[in-house]
């Protein structure tokens, strides 16, 4: 907002009871109704226009400048602006410095364009202001939440009709929970798993529980591509984040099931005094989009009686696609599954979900209070890490009705197929190298000038290291310069595994989820990267490292 405002000659704004009451009462006459409608269309279309034209990752105004304009910490006793001015400010002064994640040239993150009806649904949720922590503040919304969870449960676990009839509205159990995001969904899954493995831990703490169980430590096993929320969960749950044991990946960035199996066996040996709290399979790794071999993981977990969690925060909705659901086969054997609504369900920020195969799994984390959530009550808050909570399930439930699973499948299929086209474009270019093949709709690649590509194919490990360090700098620079030019955006990460010759390499990461991103735009993005590479001299032979 522009806080260096000009001297104001209008009537000063006042804070009085009459004005205040007006903001609480619904517009009583046509005129004020029209004003409100005008505001809403200003928001819907003013922002749409802006979003159609602007990418917003530019250097136009630096973070430092923006921070400077937003450093006044005094609270104003008097109203400063009227709502229409605030909205204009937001559209003209704030939105231009936000990031236009809905641009088809923005292919760097798991945040993208959303269907416009999501904004309407979100507005309705805000207008009704239900609090699903308890029935007394939500009533039908608690019922809808259970129904939506059952639908998603069905998508994942596909149990019998009789099972869903029995549990969909059963107040004594829960098929899962809505959470703020995937981080808290993963946390909830491991929380329930921990409390089942170590009875008494919630009340008595880790020390007593370990003693009772006769163990010295608990570990969680996941591939080295596991999301960092798993580390947070291990820390918060008191088992220690160093006990999230990373398992090697294969050349396709999937967990090495053989190594996992050996690790589990090794940890079970007498004298190790170690319990495995959970094995986590990833269905759509954040960095590479790859899917772990879920069937093999399910076998290992079944053999050893280990909780099997699948982190499908990204990939879960792939189950709606007839063509690609098979990529996740084995997910139905999980004990718990994380799915994010604000990713491939295209919901507005934020919505996480955790589903449990066993409707009583969440009993392990119930909490009660005297004024709400009393024992025996049906309040959703009993089995939730959150207290007060928005009814995001309504948005998902309605979105599923508007789209149908077929509609969602069109988006999923388009993303995967666009990623394959993009991979092909990258392969065809002399100065590019595909690093991870797209299994879902995420891929990684890097700029690698032809001569260096040929050198890498034949040199020693040490020589490769020097070349890779050079390329890492190059790719970091190109990614940064492209972002700063503000026309398009891909993200960047560092990978290391058999797929990179076990060397750390900086890669560019593309997430293809925007249905408006087509092959032409992708070629433009690569052209731009190529231009930047040539401009900074990265393609010239004299820039090659001395190897």
Ligand X SMILES: *Cc1c(COP(=O)(O)O)cnc(C)c1O
Find the binder of ligand X among 314, 356, 422, 489 (CB under 6 A): 314
Q: Are 108 and 510 in contact (CB under 8 A)?
A: yes
Non-local CB neighbours of 520 within 8 Å, separated by 6+ positions: none
Non-local CB neighbours of 121 within 8 Å, separated by 6+ positions: 394, 395, 398, 399
- Binding status of residue 243 toward ligand X by CB under 6 A: no
Distances (CA, A) of 489 to 50, 105, 421: 17, 6, 18
Q: Are 357 and 167 in contact (CB under 8 A)?
A: no
In terms of CB distance, is 181 or 444 closer to ligand X?
Answer: 181
Of all helices (H) and strands (E), which one includes residue 423?
helix 392-428
* Minimum distance from residue 342 beta carbon to ligand X (Å): 7
Q: In what order do the strands lie in the sheet with 308-311?
A: 176-179, 352-356, 336-340, 308-311, 274-282, 217-223, 244-247
In terms of CB distance, is 313 or 391 closer to ligand X?
Answer: 313
Q: Are 156 and 323 in contact (CB under 8 A)?
A: no
Find the binder of ligand X among 239, 282, 395, 511 (CB under 6 A): 282
Q: Which two tokens stand for residue 455?
A: 């050198």
- 307 burial (CB, 10 Å; 0-12 / 13-18 / 19+) is buried
> Total binding residues for ligand X by CB under 6 A?
15
- d(CA 135, CA 324) in angstroms, rounded, equals 38
Per-residue contact flags (x/-) with ligand X for residues 119 to 138, judged by CB under 6 A = --------------------
Tell me the window of 15-23, 179-187, 460-468, 484-492 that interacts with ligand X (CB under 6 A).
179-187
Q: Minimal CA–CA distance to 22: which of 83, 101, 67?
A: 83
In terms of CB distance, is 109 or 531 closer to ligand X?
Answer: 109
- Binding status of residue 500 toward ligand X by CB under 6 A: no
In terms of CB distance, is 282 or 298 closer to ligand X?
Answer: 282
Write out the binding residues for ligand X, residues 63-122 only, by CB under 6 A: 110
Helices marked H in 198-315 — which ranges? Answer: 201-204, 206-213, 228-236, 257-268, 294-304
In terms of CB distance, is 210 or 314 closer to ligand X?
Answer: 314
* Minimum distance from residue 467 beta carbon to ligand X (Å): 31
Find the binder of ligand X among 145, 335, 340, 530 (CB under 6 A): 340
In terms of CB distance, is 389 or 455 closer to ligand X?
Answer: 389
- Binding status of residue 229 toward ligand X by CB under 6 A: yes
* Minimum distance from residue 349 beta carbon to ligand X (Å): 9
Which residue(s) pair with 276 in the sheet?
219
- Binding status of residue 395 toward ligand X by CB under 6 A: no
In terms of CB distance, is 284 or 381 closer to ligand X?
Answer: 284
Chain center to CA of 161: 31
Q: Which two tokens stand for residue 98?
A: 């936000």
Tell me the window of 79-87, 278-286, 316-324, 454-462 that interacts with ligand X (CB under 6 A).
278-286
Helices marked H in 237-333 — which ranges? Answer: 257-268, 294-304
Of all helices (H) and strands (E), which one includes residue 24?
helix 17-24
111-145 per-residue burial string, b: 16 or more CB within 10 A, e: under 16: ebbbbeebeebbeebeeeebbbbbbebbeebbbbb
Find the binder of ligand X among 102, 112, 183, 482 (CB under 6 A): 183
Find the binder of ligand X among 122, 227, 389, 414 (CB under 6 A): 227
Tell me the window of 31-39, 306-314, 448-456, 532-540 that interacts with ligand X (CB under 6 A).
306-314
Q: Which two tokens stand for residue 530?
A: 């190529």
Of all helices (H) and strands (E), which one includes residue 146?
helix 140-157
* Minimum distance from residue 362 beta carbon to ligand X (Å): 19
Tell me the window of 182-190, 354-362, 374-382, 522-530 that interacts with ligand X (CB under 6 A).
182-190
Tell me the window of 2-10, 43-51, 308-316, 523-531 that interacts with ligand X (CB under 6 A).
308-316
Tell me the window of 20-28, 311-319, 404-412, 467-475 that interacts with ligand X (CB under 6 A).
311-319
Find the binder of ligand X among 286, 288, 393, 475 (CB under 6 A): 286
Q: Which residue in the shown chain puts its C-beta closest to ligand X? A: 182
- Binding status of residue 311 toward ligand X by CB under 6 A: yes
Q: In what order do the strands lie in the sheet with 491-495?
A: 432-436, 442-447, 505-511, 491-495
Tell me the window of 48-56, 240-248, 280-288, 322-330 that interacts with ligand X (CB under 6 A).
280-288
Tell me the window of 18-26, 237-245, 309-317, 396-404 that interacts with ligand X (CB under 6 A).
309-317
Find the binder of ligand X among 56, 104, 316, 352 (CB under 6 A): 352
Residue numbers of the site for ligand X (CB under 6 A)? 110, 181-183, 186, 227, 229, 282, 284, 286, 311, 313-314, 340, 352
């Amino acid at each position: 907002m522009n806080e260096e405002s000009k001297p104001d000659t209008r009537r000063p704004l006042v804070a009085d009871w009459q004005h205040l009451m007006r903001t609480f009462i619904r517009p009583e006459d046509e005129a004020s109704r029209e004003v409100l409608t005008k505001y809403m269309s200003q928001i819907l279309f003013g922002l749409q226009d802006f979003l159609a034209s602007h990418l917003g990752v530019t250097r136009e105004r630096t973070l430092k400048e923006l921070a400077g304009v937003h450093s006044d910490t005094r609270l104003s006793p008097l109203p400063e602006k009227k709502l229409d001015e605030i909205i204009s400010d937001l559209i003209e002064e704030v939105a231009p410095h936000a990031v236009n994640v809905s641009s088809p040239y923005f292919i760097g993150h798991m945040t993208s364009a959303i269907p416009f009806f999501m904004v309407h649904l979100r507005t309705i949720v805000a207008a009704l202001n239900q609090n699903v922590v308890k029935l007394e503040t939500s009533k039908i919304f608690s019922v809808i939440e259970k129904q939506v969870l059952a639908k998603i449960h069905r998508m994942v676990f596909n149990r019998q009709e009789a099972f869903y009839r029995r549990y969909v509205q059963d107040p004594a159990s829960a098929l899962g929970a809505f959470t703020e995001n995937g981080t808290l969904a993963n946390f909830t899954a491991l929380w329930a798993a921990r409390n089942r493995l170590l009875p008494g831990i919630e009340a008595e703490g880790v020390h007593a529980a370990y003693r009772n169980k006769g163990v010295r430590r608990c570990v969680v096993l996941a591939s080295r591509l596991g999301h960092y929320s798993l580390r947070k969960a291990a820390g918060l749950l008191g088992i220690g984040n160093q006990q999230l044991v990373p398992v090697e990946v294969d050349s396709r960035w999937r967990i090495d099931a053989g190594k996992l199996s050996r690790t589990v066996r090794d940890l079970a040996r007498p004298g190790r005094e170690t319990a495995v709290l959970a094995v986590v399979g990833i269905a759509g790794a954040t960095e590479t989009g790859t899917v772990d071999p879920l069937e093999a993981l399910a076998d290992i977990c079944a053999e050893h009686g280990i909780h099997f969690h699948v982190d499908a925060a990204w990939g879960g909705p792939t189950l709606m696609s007839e063509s690609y659901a098979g990529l996740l086969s084995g997910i139905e054997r999980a004990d718990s599954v994380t799915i994010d609504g604000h990713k491939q369900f295209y919901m507005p920020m934020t919505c996480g979900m955790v589903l449990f195969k066993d409707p009583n799994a969440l009993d392990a984390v119930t909490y009660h209070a005297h004024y709400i959530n009393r024992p025996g009550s049906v309040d959703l808050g009993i089995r939730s890490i959150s207290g007060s909570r928005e009814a995001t399930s309504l948005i998902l439930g309605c979105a599923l009705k508007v789209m149908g699973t077929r509609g969602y499948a069109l988006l999923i299929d388009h993303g995967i197929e666009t990623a394959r086209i993009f991979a092909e474009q990258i392969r065809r270019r002399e100065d590019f190298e595909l690093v991870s093949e797209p299994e879902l709709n995420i891929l990684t690649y890097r700029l690698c000038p032809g001569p260096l590509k040929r050198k890498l194919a034949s040199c020693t490990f040490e020589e490769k290291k020097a070349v890779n360090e050079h390329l890492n700098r190059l790719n970091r620079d190109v990614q940064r310069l492209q972002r700063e030019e503000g026309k398009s955006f891909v993200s960047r990460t560092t990978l290391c595994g058999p797929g990179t010759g076990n060397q750390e390499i900086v890669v560019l990461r593309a997430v293809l989820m925007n249905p408006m991103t087509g092959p032409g735009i992708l070629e433009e993005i690569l052209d731009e990267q190529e231009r930047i590479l040539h401009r900074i001299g990265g393609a010239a032979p004299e820039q090659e490292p001395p190897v």
